[in-house]
Structure 1
Amino acid sequence: MSTEAESRAPEAGSAEAGTAVRPARTPVPPAAVPRGRRSTAYLLTAGLLGALFLVALVSAGYGAYDIPLSDVIASARHRMGLGGQPLDRVGESVLWNVRLPRVVLALLVGASLGCAGALMQGVFGNPLAEPGIIGISSGAAVGAVASIALGLTFFGNWTITVFAFAAGLVTVLLVYALSRSGGKTEVVTLILTGIAVNAFAGALIGLFIFFADNAQITQITFWQLGSLSQATWPKVLAVLPCTVLGLLIAPFYARKLDLLSLGERSARHLGVDVERLRIVLILVVALLTAAAVAVAGIITFVGLLVPHLLRMANGPGHRFLVPGSALGGALVLALGDLAARTVAEPAELPLGVLTALFGSPFFFWLLRRTRRKQGGWA
């Protein structure tokens, strides 16, 4: 990433009109460009796409009612008018009304959480930032739970998403304001702020549960545990615009995030409007997190684990890390949902519980690793 940022620094400096004297520039030779890293990024992208396609096929066919992969492909070809043949009535209903909405929703939610985690780590300049850990997922869940408990229907099918977005936005702005000190974000303050926000959000959710009726309590429990068991095509269509918009905007800020990683002062000298960048990306994070929480409830650690694994594999450059985290998050959540509904058949494990079981040890290891690198928190 440093090589990439250094090679771009002269370009950013040349944009400053009105400088009478310019420092001498040393051209960056083509050999200095990290071609090996680009090749690794291409291989990782191809591998993630291939694994994503394979997992989606397996998830569509495997379950209490097994459908062979060849039949899944034949039914899909038939629906697209490319030949193939339909399944029997039960098989078609299971595949297209139960399995595929759930698979598509898992991909959308996972991509949202993975991309949001990568953006947050870049914006805060902190490897421990993640929507669930610092309370954004819980804050968005409060908005969703409030709309359920109060019976609000102002925006039709979009009501839960709108309230989740508003609550998530307020939460992320609060965390951002409270965790900054002396122009930078401190690790300890960030984590402690997240603990406080999660506790307060849990108290609000408990308060709504106290005043809710039995039907509303059942829905609220869904948000707390995290699950895709109620996936339908209308829910996919409700969350699709938010997810697609956030995922389309995020990659355009990858270069600025690379410059921001050099430090705020350096980024400003290179032409980056740091505060504007942070505000825009905070809005994008809130949009992606709200979209995920609105349909799946609280699912943590995806946005923490995926960007770190990709950063270890290909370095910290955001041009690959941002879209790669979206692909990796989609893959992780698709695998997690497949495990959640098949490991304990005929029962189904809550997806949020499953991701927390695997993500918590990773977070603990990452916390100790970060502490060792910084020589302690004092």
Structure 2
Amino acid sequence: MRAVHTRLQRGRRVAVATVVRTDGSAPRAVGACLAVVQEADGTPGEVLGSVSGGCVESAVHELACEVLTDGRPRQTLYGTAQDDPFAPGLTCGGTIEVRVALAAADVVDAVLGAVADRRPVAVATALTADPHRQLVVDPLGHSGSLGSGRLDAAAVDAVRGRLGAGASGVVRLGADGGQRADDLEVLVEVFAPAPRWIVFGAVDVAAALTRVAAFLGFHVTVCDARAAFTTVARFPDAHEVVVDWPHRYLARTSVDAQTVVTVLTHDLKFDVPLLQVALRGPAGVVGAMGSRRTHADRLERLRAAGLSDAQLDRLRSPVGLDLGARTPEETAVSIAAEVVAARGGGTGRPLRDTRGRIHHEQFATVTAGVGVCP
């Protein structure tokens, strides 16, 4: 979304292709985007993002070029092309439905404004109406319209429910505002602020881990009580560098179920009070570095501090998957791999040793600072 916003500010037109629906083994989730930017001379230019990981990108690019030419939205279904070997299709066997339309500057501004304030926001787009009107909804209010007050009220109710769940998708609304299955199809795209990854311990692994976490789309914070080690120069990829006692900072900062907490200090005077706060809080993934002996000692001290078995079971320690990692960079990949698996429901096993779907069910919330469409 930020990339689209930048191009719009330069006076460029941008056609955005969005995944509306998926079925089967689709490579990208609902809300995934590809954008084509029109150059100053009117010709199609750079391409941003992806809707299929490569399978139908060329066909979607052609469709986006048509939209840049006449401004008219288009919607197309792509599946397995068995009859025509030259037709675009998904080799994975699934299907995706893609909508392509010109980006609206006021909608992009509203989304980025909400996300900058760390508020989730959703864009509701009328798919089966002409024109494809849009409504932007966040916890503080809404702007735009789908065509009538009743329809907007029904859409706001439907969207707010999805904001809480963090799920993009298609809903159906009746023309009178009721939720019926025979009238208006509305695409709801939920955009969320980047989830937080808080790294405690200004050590060499932390420098590598902040690079990986930022690459994965997290808002990364590094915290340590030692000012000499905790500097922006040592952690240029972190969004925040905080000098404070770890447990004190975690107790006062914003943490939710999407937050990842990684403890790299392996120093009991930091680890034990910090993990007490982390394991009693809402963070979705809590991991700590250290040997198995260090882990056993920590568990004993945390249990003595009053943590329950259920709380201790949340602790991923020693943190990371067994990759045979040695260097700080390899260790960072190991830690990040466990976090990705934990958030996505993966097993961490080689895919050749698993059966069933490769792509797990995903949250269809798109993170606003990553890629084309937040």
Same fold (TM > 0.5)? no
TM range (shorter): under 0.3
Per chain length, whose mean CA-contact separation is higher, i.e. which structure has more relative contact order (CA < 8 Å, sep 6+)? Answer: 1
Structure (1/2) with the larger strand percentage: 2
With the length of structure 2 as denominator, give the TM-score of the two structures: 0.21
Structure (1/2) with the larger helix percentage: 1
